[in-house]
Structure 1
């Protein structure tokens, strides 16, 4: 697609990325903008970052840039660092090796597969989705499409490059990313992709829990967590994704409210997401209208959260904050005139617990009177002037001089 047929302008590309592209091109190498940045620029969205693809090897890239560092033992990449902590990632075009090229030792297959260099076309067919397989060529400012990504952008469709079952087996997290792109871009899933997710959903449990945890939080950083988890539940992906977790309609609605807060500029932290995921189950286990010691509430909240936190190796501080949110919601939902009310108001998690309770009341219609009463009390406490001491300042008390220690006379 020539320059006059697409909306990508160099003014929209990060200046440091342009420096990398131009230097590679001047030294005789192919230099392409690759991946999601091309997709976003074609959709007239602001890219999160810019990645570069080239036919130069990692060592050749390193010789061209003094600020280049090679990273990765199995998948060699060039990171070019600029001021302010900015990193431009440069990857050499790769291809899928033939079976007779693989080493005899199966343990070396993965590292070998990831470092077989190839052509731009071969590299495009290694990528996950057609809309991520587009290239922008700095030499003539054209967009290159080997995989049908331009057609899928026009149709607003998510389609896998190659056989979905095979590609999902290679990397099960691609199933979650397919749902994420649908939500973020407001696209639809191709029928073959949906069938592939249905067939391969159980194998996502084989993905590293740390990676799943990061992908999950990335959903909420983009403001699409609620919709994606709802879609994951509909396709059978949610339960193996979150180690047996089963969501319900009200929880998905609550998570979508958190997404709305994110879009309004209120970031959503991990303890808040954890508490929202398990709030409905917690309130069934600890009904606020039943008398229950707070120590028992704390214990039950911990029991509900601990399997999730243990599976995903969540730090104790984060799980503690999530538990405090749940316990705070229980105490707020009981209403006012309870023992320890003034001490409760000084707890640092109570304002956050009140916000989450207000979101929950928007979903289910309960606890609205309690939310209003607590808000009124908190607002009154914030408007109340700080007490002042009109008494004259007292003179500092002089320190008493200690008497010198008496030493006993020497014995004769």
Structure 2
């Protein structure tokens, strides 16, 4: 390890681009007699002209010493002890320099398979640098002379836009399998190439992700797909065999869907999500997971209908089956899984008038459903796979503006069976049940 100090006139980082609260923490730690550096993603992003939202600090002060300096500080974590200095809605994360050794105190624990279970042995800044994951994340900016300290060659890697793991890649992935997801996410976000040695082990080690905590995988999915680079992350996950570990049933459905219709829906949905994020528009995790698990839902629905299960019952059972199976991998909270299922189940109601007119009462009830708008947006998205939804989209678009006019412009009603395809769970006459049984599962 060789320290390289990059002076202020040789890098683009200016204090005016750093959070004032982060600067306050840096100066107070320094005045308290501690080393303190801005580190990680903020330094990396500022070097490539980005605008980081989070500013992390590495320091020689222990978490207890940080708490002593800041009344607005709280200590968090057991596996990795951290100090959070809170300024209203902004949190400045402060981590003590970590050593990459076991001192026998029990503060560093490694599982037999290589996973790092606990990492609270403190050390020097040199120790801290080599235990970080990527060279691009191991750059330290100091307020002493506004230089950057580089111990692992990260400065040149950032300039060359290369993502490279520190140390032996296989060992680092065994320590923390989620690093494989971080490789994909950072490459997508930054537009960096992945170093060959960093990329090579990922396909073979992808199954290690199944050992990660489902709650942590949920958080990583939000970071990947709700940061404005979801499409690129999806393609990266597919490339390295990681998508099949995170979403096994959807991956199987995409592979079996020879027309590629389901994949087109997913990609188009992710492009739309990325556009909304970049436009600072809200994106719901429920809609995101409805999109990512839609292939699995469609496949499960087709299987159940093929077994003769009544259409409405098949929809509900398919939604439940996909959700329960996915929960074993990703801990999707109920506040998102239930709306996700409602988006799926409303699709049959929105496409129910394949023959005959929609009754006014049912139209008004559908428009009033709390998940109607999300379900309608999902229906619009499905047109990428099938233009057979065009009339339904046109009807519901008009219904949102003028329900009575939309209802009046419908084709003349057919037989009474046509009215029974709503999929809203109402008890139906036998003839309607036979009609529903013959209804086709979604193709996209």
Provide the TM-score with structure 1 as the length reference.
0.83
Residue 278 of structure 2 corresponds to residue 273 of structure 1: no
Cα distance change on mapping 1:335 and 1:145 into 2, 3 Å:
farther
Where structure 2 has 5 or more consecutive residues not aligned to the other structure, the ranges are 1-5, 255-262, 407-444
> 1:147 deviation in Å?
1.1
1:19 to 24, 31, 38: 24
> 1:317 deviation in Å?
4.2
- After the TM superposition, which of the residue ranges 367-376 and 204-213 deviates more from structure 2? 367-376
1:341 to 350, 353, 363: 363
Matches within 5 A, 1:347-386: 347-381=369-403
Cα distance change on mapping 1:170 and 1:245 into 2, 3 Å:
farther
> 1:307 deviation in Å?
1.6
Residue 118 of structure 2 corresponds to residue 117 of structure 1: no
2:337 to 310, 319, 342: 319
Residue 204 of structure 2 corresponds to residue 186 of structure 1: no
Partner secondary structure for residue 367 of structure 1:
helix
Partner secondary structure for residue 69 of structure 1:
strand
* Number of the residue aligned with 1:304: 322
Q: In 2, are the aligned partners of 1:165 and 1:199 still within 8 Å (CA)?
A: no
Q: In 1, are the aligned partners of 2:250 and 2:294 still within 8 Å (CA)?
A: no
1:92 to 96, 101, 106: 96
In 1, Cα distance between the equivalents of 2:132 and 2:107?
26
In 2, Cα distance between the equivalents of 1:178 and 1:12?
26
In 2, Cα distance between the equivalents of 1:107 and 1:34?
25
Residue 169 of structure 2 corresponds to residue 169 of structure 1: no
> 1:45 deviation in Å?
1.1
Q: In 2, are the aligned partners of 1:230 and 1:252 still within 8 Å (CA)?
A: no
In 2, Cα distance between the equivalents of 1:366 and 1:177?
39
Matches within 5 A, 1:95-110: 95-97=99-101, 101-102=103-104
Question: What per-residue deviation string (whole Å, max 9, x for no partner) do you get for residues 47-96 of structure 1?
Answer: 111111112233333333333333334433222233x1433222221211
Cα distance change on mapping 1:178 and 1:113 into 2, 3 Å:
same
Higher relative contact order (CA 8 A, sep 6+): 2
Provide the TM-score with structure 2 as the length reference.
0.77
Where structure 1 has 5 or more consecutive residues not aligned to the other structure, the ranges are 385-412
Cα distance change on mapping 1:151 and 1:307 into 2, 3 Å:
same
Q: In 1, are the aligned partners of 2:41 and 2:52 still within 8 Å (CA)?
A: yes
1:262 to 257, 260, 277: 277
In 2, Cα distance between the equivalents of 1:285 and 1:213?
22
Cα distance change on mapping 1:372 and 1:44 into 2, 3 Å:
same
Number of matched pairs: 380
- After the TM superposition, which of the residue ranges 48-57 and 35-44 deviates more from structure 2? 48-57
**What value does the CA root-mean-square deviation take over the aligned residues?**
3.0
> 1:286 deviation in Å?
5.0
Cα distance change on mapping 1:144 and 1:353 into 2, 3 Å:
same
> 1:111 deviation in Å?
9.2
Partner secondary structure for residue 293 of structure 2:
helix
Cα distance change on mapping 1:349 and 1:234 into 2, 3 Å:
same
Bigger radius of gyration, 1 or 2? 1
* Number of the residue aligned with 2:228: 223
In 2, Cα distance between the equivalents of 1:304 and 1:286?
10
Q: In 1, are the aligned partners of 2:135 and 2:153 still within 8 Å (CA)?
A: yes
> 1:140 deviation in Å?
0.6
In 1, Cα distance between the equivalents of 2:349 and 2:300?
14
